[in-house]
């Protein structure tokens, strides 16, 4: 099936998908970690088997993000996982890179999930969805939205209050939420930071950001992207 907007190297895209029938796709801490490891391992022009790294080379979760890879297929600028869906902002680096990358991590995670939970069939709701990021305003909005998205877990309806108050509880929750790149932008050093390549994104991806920066980015553009 041909996409309406073809992927072009050095262009930016928003990639996302959810579980089939909106089912939960992350049931445990390790499920999240498995997907996060694949974001790093699958982003290589050479094939790398995550199971071999874990079971044969006995690499720990932290060590996975330090392995040598071939040239990347994409540059990832932001990512966020929720219980039943994910969001990624990336730039294609080689022709066909996004399609290869999403196939590698999507297939790898689906196989892992189906074996673990003794199920069969597709895990995701069809092929991954994509939107071309046509301007910096949209990109900036996504930068804020993806990093604030996990607030839905504990603070339902936060979007209606976002321009009125910024409770300390929101900041504390995001600071402790490990399943997005938020920590990598507020100055917290961790192995998962190697998933990102901030150099090919605007300056606000490279700077140390505050909670207020993400709020400002989120408010920069009014979009329904859930």
Query: What does the mean pLDDT of the chain come to?
Result: 93
Q: For residue 204, is pLDDT > 90?
A: yes
- Binned at pLDDT 50, 70 and 90, residue 78 comes out as very high
pTM of the model: 0.94
Of 23, 17, 20, residue with least CA distance to 225: 17
- Residue 220: pLDDT band (50, 70, 90) is confident
| Phi, psi (degrees; rounded to nearest 5) at 34 | -60, -45
Domain boundaries, the chain: 12-131, 136-218
Which DSSP string do the residues of 100-117 spell out, in sequence order? HHHHHHHHHHHHHHHHHT
Q: What mean pLDDT do residues 41-45 have?
A: 96
Residue 223's pLDDT is 64
- Could you report the per-residue pLDDT of 105-144, keeping only the tens digit for each? 999 999 999 999 999 999 999 889 999 999 999 999 999 9
Check residue 221 and give its pLDDT. 78
Query: Rounded to the nearest 5°, which phi and psi values hold at 155?
Result: -125, 75
Assign 1 a pLDDT band (cuts: 50, 70, 90): very low
Max mean pLDDT range (44-53, 78-87, 155-164, 215-224): 78-87
Strands 129-132 and 74-81: unpaired
pLDDT computed for residue 45 by the predictor: 93
Q: What pLDDT, on the 0 to 100 scale, is given for residue 154?
A: 93
CATH of 12-131, one of 3.90.850.10, 1.10.3720.10, 3.30.1050.10, 3.30.70.1290: 3.30.70.1290
Residue 3: pLDDT band (50, 70, 90) is: low
Average confidence (pLDDT) over 191-195: 98
In the block, tokens 């579980």 appear at: 19
């Amino acid at each position: 099936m041909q996409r309406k907007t073809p992927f072009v190297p050095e262009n930016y895209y928003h990639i996302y998908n959810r579980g089939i029938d909106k089912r939960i796709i992350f049931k445990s801490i390790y499920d999240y970690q498995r997907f996060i490891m694949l974001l790093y391992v699958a982003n290589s022009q050479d094939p790398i088997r995550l199971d071999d790294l874990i079971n044969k080379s006995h690499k720990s979760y932290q060590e996975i993000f330090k392995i040598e890879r071939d040239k990347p297929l994409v540059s990832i600028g932001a990512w966020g996982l929720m219980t039943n869906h994910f969001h990624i902002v990336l730039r294609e680096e080689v022709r066909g890179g996004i399609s290869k990358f999403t196939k590698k991590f999507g297939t790898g995670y689906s196989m892992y999930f189906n074996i673990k939970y003794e199920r069969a069939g597709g895990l995701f709701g069809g092929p991954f969805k994509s939107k071309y990021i046509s301007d910096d305003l949209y990109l900036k909005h996504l930068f804020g939205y993806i990093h604030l998205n996990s607030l839905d877990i504990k603070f339902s309806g936060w979007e209606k209050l976002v321009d009125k108050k910024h409770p300390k509880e929101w900041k504390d929750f995001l600071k402790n939420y490990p399943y997005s790149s938020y920590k990598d932008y507020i100055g917290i050093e961790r192995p998962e930071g190697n998933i990102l390549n901030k150099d090919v994104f605007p300056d606000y991806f490279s700077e140390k950001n505050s909670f207020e920066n993400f709020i400002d980015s989120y408010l920069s553009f009014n979009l329904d992207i859930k």
